[in-house]
Amino acid sequence: MQIDFSNKNLYNEKYIKLINSKKRYNFLMWWSWSWKSVWESQNEIIKSFQTWNRCLCIRKTKESIKDSMFAELVWRIEEWNLWEFFEITKSPLYIKNKLSWSDFIFRWLDDVEKIKSVKWVNRIWIEEATEILKTDFDQLDLRLRGKNKNGFQIVCTFNPIDAEHWLNIDFWSKWENKDILLIHSTYLDNKWAWEEYHKVMERMKKDNPDFYKIYALWEWWILKGLIFENWKEVREVPKEAELLWYWMDFWFTNDPTTLVALYKYNWELYFDELLYQTNLTNSEIVNKCKNFWINKTIYADSSEPKSIEEIKRGWVKIEWAKKWPDSIRYWIDLLKWFKLNITSNSSNLLKEIRKYVWKEDRNGKSLNEPVWWFDHLLDAMRYVSVMTLTKNKLDIFIW
């Protein structure tokens, strides 16, 4: 039985060459609202009907894979009305094409042994590839070996970050060759991008042209005027660390609800991202908190008193965070007192803090005001900081 995927209106024009690619290494460096994961999920669904393929879907952490890669593939199946051709399970995460017996296996890099046990893989999709190490990539590359009439392919989807990242040095800067396909796109190439998003990008272009080139366009970045440089990425929170508080920021449709834990240990602060998800109702937030065994106070956005009250009635200890004029600058100065550690699984917080810079005027002079484009988790961090790291409570941390 043949499924017709010939309708080109389904696809982004820049993406068509990925479907036809025979190259081993395929890199999709596309910015927000260019829908890189949508196009790659389309590619994998199409490939699943072309005789037998086994696709290993990889992300850095378990928490992110269900709501990203697995969800994208399921959405494409639903969008194209292909339910009858697929078997889908959520525990464990698994998708199989019943016509070709092609399947999708989902793994995360905080459990390397499980990846080693997967056999007969001829395709690998790595989502948010900038989150993984070069050694991780090399190990995955070794999984593609033996004989397979469909060939072997790795597809990496990612947003460009530091120009010194191994993806840029080892692949992107070498441009295309017989083994490498490079595709880049921006929100300008996405005919489905919302008009409101275009307006946001235009404001960014006006406020910070350099930042616009990095975030709205496709350039690898070397950011000027970074606000926080007193931080490092760590694999995990030390077992001896003391949990202090949590912080939360509320959103729903387009932006995520966030939850991060704050710890102290050996004169330093540790941050661990627990939640970063859109479309959560208050009752779902309550259930998430209970699953995380929240046993300390959560500080949250004071502009959402109704949400705070509803969550509190679900037996979650949550309080509103105080705001005052210039609290943003106060919070920045306060956190610069400490050494900050962010766990590796806090992928969204890491992205935000790496891109958190001072706004500049047209002459390149700092305006002593942050550019607020990547701030969902940083907003939440501010709430807990101004409530707990205040000068009259600083003795809690100076130990």
Let me know: does 263 contact 336? Beta carbons within 8 Å: no
More confident residue, 354 or 110: 354
Evaluate if residue 394 carries a pLDDT over 50.
no
- What architecture does CATH give domain 231-396? 2-Layer Sandwich (3.30)
Give me the sheet containing 242-249, strands edge to edge.
231-234, 339-343, 268-277, 257-265, 242-249, 298-300, 318-320
Q: What string of DSSP letters covers 210-224? A: HHHHHHTS---B--S
Most confident stretch, 5-9, 87-91, 156-160, 300-304: 87-91
Residue 106: what pLDDT? 94
At 272, give phi and psi (nearest 5°).
-130, 115
Collapse the DSSP code of 32 into the 3-class scheme (helix H, G, I; strand E, B; otherwise coil) and give the result: coil
Residue 385: what pLDDT? 63
Evaluate if residue 383 carries a pLDDT over 70.
no
Evaluate if residue 35 carries a pLDDT over 70.
no
Contacts of 394 (CB under 8 A, 6+ apart): none
Question: How far is it, in rounded angstroms, from Cα 309 to Cα 383?
Answer: 17
Residue 386: what pLDDT? 61
Residue 325: what pLDDT? 63
Instruction: List the CATH code of the domain at 8-189.
Output: 3.40.50.300
Q: Are strands 257-265 and 242-249 parallel, antiparallel or unpaired?
A: antiparallel
Question: How far is it, in rounded angstroms, from Cα 268 to Cα 105?
Answer: 39
Evaluate if residue 109 carries a pLDDT over 50.
yes
- Whether pTM exceeds 0.85: no
Residue 396: what pLDDT? 40
Question: How far is it, in rounded angstroms, from Cα 353 to Cα 376?
Answer: 11
List residues bridging with 57 in a β-sheet.
106, 125
86 to 37, 46, 136, 311, 358: CA distances (angstroms): 20, 13, 30, 38, 49
Residue 47: what pLDDT? 93
Evaluate if residue 126 carries a pLDDT over 70.
yes
What residue ranges of the chain are covered by domains with CATH 3.30.420.280?
Answer: 231-396
355 to 79, 206, 278, 313, 358: CA distances (angstroms): 34, 17, 21, 37, 10
Evaluate if residue 272 carries a pLDDT over 80.
yes
pLDDT in tens, 160-198: 777 778 888 888 776 667 788 988 877 777 666 667 767
Instruction: Name the band, by pLDDT with cuts 50, 70 and 90, for residue 374.
Output: low
**Longest CA span, the chain:** 72
What residue ranges of the chain are covered by domains with CATH 3.40.50.300?
Answer: 8-189
**Poorest-confidence range of 96-105, 257-266, 316-325?**
316-325
Residue 326: what pLDDT? 67
